[in-house]
Amino acid sequence: MIAEPNTASNLPSQKESAVHDETAPESAVQNGSSVRNGNLKTPREKRKVREQCENIRRNSSSSRRVSQLQNGEVVEAVTLFEVVSMGKRAMQSVVDDWVQAYKQDRNVALLDLINFFIQCSGCQGMVTAEMFQSLHKKDVMRKMTETFDEETGLQYKKFMAYPWILTVTWPVDTDNKDYPLIRTGPYWKKFKANFCEFIAVLVQQCQCSILYDSYLMDTIISLLTGLADSVVRAFRHTSTLAAMKLLTAVVSVHLNLDVNKHNAERLYEVEKKRISGKRTNYRLDQLERKREEYERKLLEIQNMMNAIFKGTFLNRYRDVIPEIRATCIEEIGSWIKTYPDGFLNDSYLKYIGWMLYDKQAEVRLKCLLGLQGIYSRKELVSRMDLFTSRFKDRIVSMPLDKDHEVAVQAMKLLMLMSQNCGDVLSTEDCETLYQFVYTTHRPLAVAAGEFLYKRLLSHEGDEEVQPEGGGKFGASTDRLKRLISFFLESELHKHVAYLIDSLWDWAGKFLKDWECMTTLLLKNAEEGGEALSDAHESVLIEIILATVREAAEGHPPVGRGAAKKILSVKEKKIQLEDCTKITEHFIMVLPQLLAKYSTDAQKVANLLQIPQYYDLDVYRMGHLRKHLDALLREVKDIVAKHSDMSVLEASSRTYYILCSEEIAIYSQVDRARTQLIDELMGQLNQLLDGFWQKEEGFCTDAGEVSQMHSALRRVAAFHNAHDLTKWNLYDKTLRLLVFEMEHGSLPVLMTLPALQCMYFSLLWQLAAVSENSPKETLFTLRRELRCFSRICVCFLHHKEKDVREKAFMILCDWLLILSHQDSNNNEEAVGLLDYLPSASLQEKLLLFIQEHVFMEEEEESKDLTEEEERKDESGKLDDLHKKRSLLAAYCKLIVYNVVEMSAAAEIYKYYVKTYNDFGDIIKETLSKTRHNNKIQSTKTLILCLQQLFQTHAESQDSSSSVDFYSASFTNMKELARRFSLTFGWDQVKSRESVAMIHKYAYLQRYIAEPLPCRGDEWQPLIWYRNSLLANEDEESSVLSSSGELSPMGTSKMSSFKRKLSNGSLPVTSQTEAEDKAPDLQCSSQLASAAGKRRKRLKSREMHLQEHLPFLCPGGLPRRCCKGEIKTEDVSKKGQAEDTTEDVDVDVVSADQVIPARVFQL
């Protein structure tokens, strides 16, 4: 609080009653006393000074006293700070009270206002004011200091707030920690808004009276300028915000005065013309005096604005705190927009331009928002030429900003510049900005879509201008052609769905004009007008499909947007209307389009996806049945013509959508589907009969192979979505695959679809298992499942790469399904059909991944043309995609506990080496496994690093030591660092895993070779315990202050906790630990825990191969050269390994901080 000035000692003094309430701000409670200049050395001196220097309450405080109900108690707001912090609604009445008090005694009122600004800065110290006398300038500058008193531990700041010199004293330990502007919680939620409102209302209420007394504003400006120069963040932030808002309010006053002056001048001129013949006139003199008064006030206001701008803005717009910089830039943008005559020039615009390069996104965002307010007004743009030419390139590059909101606002700013600045953006700039419609961040894509639509697609007068031959769709046809041309010209992207989603908010009506689009497709060149090319037709069909999907689903495409948005009632109504419109239009048009493009696989595949968005209830109307028949005929003809998998899958899905049993057309569509499948199976049976009748048992004719390939693909495509069990496909495909296993002469074109057909057949049989399924059926299905698994395993070594990869993918999916089946709550079926991979199968799967995913193929250097290089690059991308699919399929087996988690150690070895290609998959696997089992996942990481280190050590010369500077060891350290980062910064969550790492690190440090138990003691545990208790300093920091530990079993140690898997390990006394004496009680409990542990070792989760490498690194044979996981059968090796595995010692206390970087070697 502020003590009265020296020259105002005769003013009434009254002690302020502090409000002690739980919800009141701390500064309002503790800031209840002050000191004069001088050093505070003893508590007695401090109390004496506080008693002498009580804060002066202004006379009208009783009229400003307000109350607020908080937690059932009434809290009275006495000071300005308390009123503002409580968020009172009637801010104007509070300011009126203060103005009235100022008119009665301006010194007391000003002290109250100064105290308000100090308290708003969160200052919990004291403020002393002394009246400024006629000191010499050097003496005044010498007093403007900010020092630290080492004796008292207090910080002092002296500065001038004319006519006083203020001294603020506060404890150093509260510096920069917390102040009202950055506090959180409901109490401080609206403090900033209330604080800014108070300043605005204060200036507004003072503009007609005390604002121009050369006392109030001088004091406030000097106060805020002095606080803004402080090294304390709270003072700088609060005073800078206050000064900027003060200047904003003063600018508003300046505008009002300008208007009043203009009106006075007009009245003066009118009055002067009216009395031109008279010498003097009272009215004219009055207007003259008023005009001079306005000019005088405007000059004073201008001086205030200059003082605030030069004293605060110029020093703080480059402050180290980004919030302060953002406040300055935000307000200067407001000044330029509000008072362009005074601020819209290069002298002020340059600050916004410079801060466009700021490192903090918040500051860059404020710059863009300020510029949007300027460029949105055409009358201001003409005065921005120099700024635009200087900073245009920077603004054009800002849509690439790493902060999404900055990028979005930059695109919106460029949209305004494009509209109001003529040709300021070049063609190259526009083409660069157009490409942002394909970005994955939807707000930025939508902003780019607006730019594209208004700049390229939409032109004024499009609705009135009808191109020749355009008919009623002239304007829409022209836009469509421009959109198609744009897509074809942007060769970098092939994502029509992303383009349509970007334009949807701005061109939704145009993009829903499906009648125009289909008319353009069905129009022939003979009908007049320019026909579309084949490429244009393909793009237009993709656009139709994308618009239909967007209208029917109502959410962005995959990859753009985190999740499906919840539609409002209005949006759902629009969605239903669009679905009905789509159905009614395409029911009639789609058969015509399919008939026209029946030979083009790409076009037909896209068109056949439209029926899945139909509202099938529309088919209840009888006059539409004929169109359904036409659609079914066209789909049947397409299936007969094509063998492309995308076309066949789309046809199969169309039948699946239309064969819903709930709709009226089910019987009609089911009859057509059955007829089609009968024909397909008839063709397949005929080809198979001819195939088996040949003497050699296999066909060499390419035509017959192609026919068999097409027939099998058609059946496989339909078997994916439809149950074809009654056609007995399993036996037919089994015979083909067995023939391939025995002879190896079946063409690949027949092997792949046959394998797919057999897989779908078994899936349908597995799905049909019910609670009442007979045992004979279950045993037959079990035999077929085992047979199919053996076929897939055999094909893992097939000579053809495509067959190997297909067999691996199917086998991984197959194992995942069998290990997580439900079989309709039939426990007997689950027991019979359950299938878990054996150890040998797990090794084969891992070996396949190592050979086909991580093994690099040797590339031959060839001189290729540009076209050949492009094809080669495309082939490499396809191969990478296949490898990623293979790795993801195998990692799913690890995540879902189908294979042992320790197998992931072989995958983790390639984390750093293949980070660009497979890093995301491996990282996700690591995350999922840790979520499933933290301890086991951590053991897998240790196993990975141990194997790498052993390989590194074995690669070194036996006569020399391990090279810690080689490339392999450096890569190992980098891998360990990456592993450590995956634990995150939450030490509580990672404590268990990190403690386990420390445990094994200590065990391996003190175990040179695996040792059995000696007598009744477990020797490694004794060594481990002794290593922890060896250092007396460390011991004293974790043990209790009592001299000796309590006996075994009753000891309580807060810093050490020793745990077993099924109980707690008693703690030995310090003497026993140092003497290494045997303890019968400890050994008996260890033996009991070991017995329990042996039983649990039988489960698959605690497989022995996961534990032995950790405890006995020197006693196990090395892994095989292929990286296969092999372990010895140690069931007969006695208690050495079992007992070792029993003990899970955790010596890390809950309050100890364990660094997460334990992997760094």
* Buried-state track 1099-1109, b at ≥16 Cβ within 10 A, e below 16: eeeebbbbbbb
Highest mean pLDDT among 114-128, 534-548, 655-669, 938-952: 534-548
Structure confidence by residue, pLDDT tens digits, 506-538: 998 899 999 999 999 988 644 555 678 899 999
> In degrees to the nearest 10, what's the CA dihedral of 946, 951, 954, 956?
-110
> Does the pLDDT value for residue 997 go beyond 50?
yes
Q: Which helix (H) or strand (E) holds 159?
A: strand 154-161
Assign 1122 a pLDDT band (cuts: 50, 70, 90): very low
> Does the pLDDT value for residue 133 go beyond 50?
no
> Exposed, middle or buried by CB within 10 Å (0-12, 13-18, 19+), for 25?
buried
Higher per-residue confidence, 1147 vs 639: 639
Higher per-residue confidence, 119 vs 608: 608
Query: Is 525:533 a contact under the CB 8 Å cutoff?
Result: no
DSSP class per residue in 980-1019 = HHTT-S-HHHHHHHHHHHHHHHHHHHH-SS----BTTB-H
- Percentage of the chain beyond pLDDT 90 is 39
Higher per-residue confidence, 696 vs 272: 272
**How many CB atoms lie under 10 A from the CB of residue 283?**
12
Q: What is the mean pLDDT of residues 801-809?
A: 94
DSSP class per residue in 356-399 = TT-SSHHHHHHHHHHHHHHHT-HHHHTT-HHHHHHHHHHHHHGG
What is the structure's pLDDT at 1076?
A: 37
Nearest to 617 by CA among 553, 571, 687, 665: 665
**Distance of alpha carbon 268 from alpha carbon 286, whole angstroms:** 9
Q: What is the mean pLDDT of residues 991-1004?
A: 72
Question: Does pTM top 0.85 for this prediction?
Answer: no
> Does the pLDDT value for residue 388 go beyond 50?
yes
Q: Which residue has the tokens 């033996």?
A: 1087
Q: Which of 144-153, 438-447, 934-943 has the lowest mean pLDDT?
A: 144-153
Specify the 3-state DSSP secondary structure of 549.
helix
**Distance of alpha carbon 11 from alpha carbon 825, whole angstroms:** 90
DSSP class per residue in 709-735 = HHHHHHHHHHHHHS--GGG-HHHHHHH
**Distance of alpha carbon 83 from alpha carbon 194, whole angstroms:** 9
Q: Which of 156-165, 239-248, 372-381, 761-770 has the lowest mean pLDDT?
A: 156-165
Q: What is the mean pLDDT of residues 313-338?
A: 95
Higher per-residue confidence, 367 vs 231: 367
**Distance of alpha carbon 205 from alpha carbon 233, whole angstroms:** 30
Q: Which residue has the tokens 């840790």?
A: 930
> Does the pLDDT value for residue 147 go beyond 80?
no
Please state, rounded to an integer, the average pLDDT across all residues of the chain: 76
Structure confidence by residue, pLDDT tens digits, 696-752: 555 567 888 889 999 999 999 999 999 998 998 999 999 999 988 888 888 899 999
Nearest to 590 by CA among 601, 606, 574, 602: 606
Give the pair of three-digit tokens for residue 786: 């085992």
Task: Check residue 1044 and report its DSSP letter.
Answer: S
Query: Is 540:480 a contact under the CB 8 Å cutoff?
Result: yes
Residues with Cβ within 8 Å of 671's Cβ and at least 6 positions away in sequence, in order, are none
Cis, bond preceding 186 (omega within 30 deg of 0): no
What is the structure's pLDDT at 32?
A: 35
Structure confidence by residue, pLDDT tens digits, 885-919: 999 999 999 999 999 999 999 999 999 889 899 99
How many residues in the chain? Answer: 1161
Give me the helices (H) in 554-694, please: 569-596, 601-607, 625-641, 645-658, 666-693
Query: Is 731:773 a contact under the CB 8 Å cutoff?
Result: no
DSSP class per residue in 817-829 = HHHT--GGG-HHH
Higher per-residue confidence, 927 vs 86: 927
Q: Which helix (H) or strand (E) holds 160?
A: strand 154-161
Give the pair of three-digit tokens for residue 279: 């010498």
Q: Which helix (H) or strand (E) holds 239?
A: helix 233-274
> Does the pLDDT value for residue 787 go beyond 80?
yes
Structure confidence by residue, pLDDT tens digits, 200-250: 999 999 988 888 888 899 989 988 998 898 888 888 999 999 999 999 999
Structure confidence by residue, pLDDT tens digits, 44-92: 444 433 443 333 333 333 334 444 434 444 444 467 888 888 775 678 8
Task: Output the furthest CA–CA distance in the chain (Å, rounded).
Answer: 134
Q: Which residue has the tokens 């691996």?
A: 808
Task: Check residue 309 and report its DSSP letter.
Answer: I
Q: Is the dihedral of CA 337, 341, 343, 346 positive or negative?
A: positive
Residues with Cβ within 8 Å of 788's Cβ and at least 6 positions away in sequence, in order, are 758, 759, 762, 814
**How many CB atoms lie under 10 A from the CB of residue 471?**
15
Which residues lie across from 160 on neighbouring strands? 165
